Chain A
Amino acid sequence: MIRVEHALRAALERHRTSVVPAPDRSRLALRLARHDRMRVARRASVAGAAIAAAIAVGFVTTRDSGGNTIDVSRADRPAAEVTTAPSALGTTATTSPSTTGTIAIVSPTTIAAAPPATAAPVVVPPVTTTPEPDPPEPDPPEESPPETSPPPDGSFTATYGSGESSESPPWDEYFGTAPPDSAVAISSPYGSGSTTTDPDGYWSTTVEFPAAPVGETFSVTLTNEAGTATVPFTRTA
């Protein structure tokens, strides 16, 4: 046993000195930038859904192109506060519950504040200039991709990333490139999803596989108009 240990340690030391990996710093920088970009896009998507929901239930007042305010507020429910701000990729937004009954959309949308409680919808005459609050501090400028990593050429690429095969439910992250604004569908026997590439041609999404049996490797198919890719997934716990 001792001789095995000595031989193993010698082999490991040879491995330590002989393996000289080449760092790919630019690839990591690109992945971090893409992570930030996707995070911003997800936040904007969530905020957009919140705004749409708020409008649908009548919590907000909207302003038409002529400057007339259309009040569709509901008096019997609390409202939410929504703020949006421009970012490098468009609009970012956050929402929070509020009992003040107001929704303030800063920029670039034209939805304005609603009074907290009115008995019935009221059409308000043309609004005088409403001072808008200072927009939140914009996100820092997006890091330019390194010169060694050219922008996507519109071809379809797909890979899997930092998911967890041992969580419940297990999930994986998929990302890659495809033609800008095109749809990417992810399908498998135990879970599916879809997403759309951003204007730069990057896409990313996560898919859960709640019904996947432990230990069975199955194929996850990623489909786009520019191609198809298949990657394996195995639930480990």
Chain B
Amino acid sequence: MDPTRDDRRARVLALYDNEHASLVRLARLLVGDPEAAEDLVQDAFVRLYRARPALREPHAASAYLRTTVVRRARRRGRRRPATPSDDRILDALGRLPARERECIVLRHYAQMPEPEIAAAVDCSVVSVHAHVRQGLSALPWLMSGQEQKAWQ
């Protein structure tokens, strides 16, 4: 039986209290713009509120929120380019192709296993591995020459 509307609202708001910060940080890595990141996270919670089955299991709700943020970030990223970051390597990360950026962020920041990343970004596990490797290889080339030399 579906929880009542008030129960569902309370659950979503409680999840928001717990998950908001981590989701906004994740979204900011993906889209750059702080306001766009907050909008993405708000949209994800509204979608979760609509998707009643996902609310029944806290773990499922968290996964649903993260996947929604990633997918919507890809769409927003095409509309609003990520803003430059103070950190050069994060700036370079923001200039990677969307799929490579998503895979790297989910692997190295969210520390998700590759099968979960594959489900979130809608590709195969092999592709996730390839995107991570390609993205990491491209990062030095996207950074300034000085920092690139420091690694060589």
Contact = CB atoms under 8 A, between A and B. Distances in A.
Interface of A: 1, 3-5, 7-9, 11-12, 14-16, 19-21, 23-25, 27-29, 31-32, 35-36, 139-140, 143, 161-162, 165-166, 217, 232, 234, 236
Contacts, number: 101
Interface in B134-151: 136-137, 139-140, 151
Contact of B42 (A3, A16, A28): A28
A140 B3 CA distance: 13
A1 B46 contact: no
Interface stretch (B10-18, B59-67, B112-120): B10-18
Nearest to A143: B9
B144 to A, nearest CB: 13
Interface residues of B, number: 42
A232 B79 CA distance: 8
Contacts of A236: 74-75, 78
B43 interface: yes
B43 A19 contact: no
A36 B5 CA distance: 9
Given A8-B93, A21-B25, A31-B46, A15 B87 contact: yes
B5 A140 contact: yes
Contacts of B4: 140
B78 A20 contact: no
B29 interface: yes
A3 B9 CA distance: 45
A35 B136 contact: no
Contacts of B87: 11, 14-15
Most chain A beta-carbon contacts within 10 A, residue among B47, B105, B108: B108
A15 B109 contact: yes
A143 B7 CA distance: 12
- Lowest 5 A-B CB distances belong to which pairs? A21-B24, A12-B109, A11-B89, A23-B20, A3-B151
B108 A4 contact: no
Q: Which of B25, B38, B47 has the most CB of A within 10 A?
A: B25
Contacts of A234: 75, 78-79
B104 to A, nearest CB: 7
Nearest to A12: B109
13 contacts: A4-B136, A11-B87, A15-B25, A20-B21, A21-B34, A23-B20, A25-B13, A25-B17, A28-B13, A32-B13, A35-B49, A140-B5, A161-B43
A237 B96 CA distance: 20
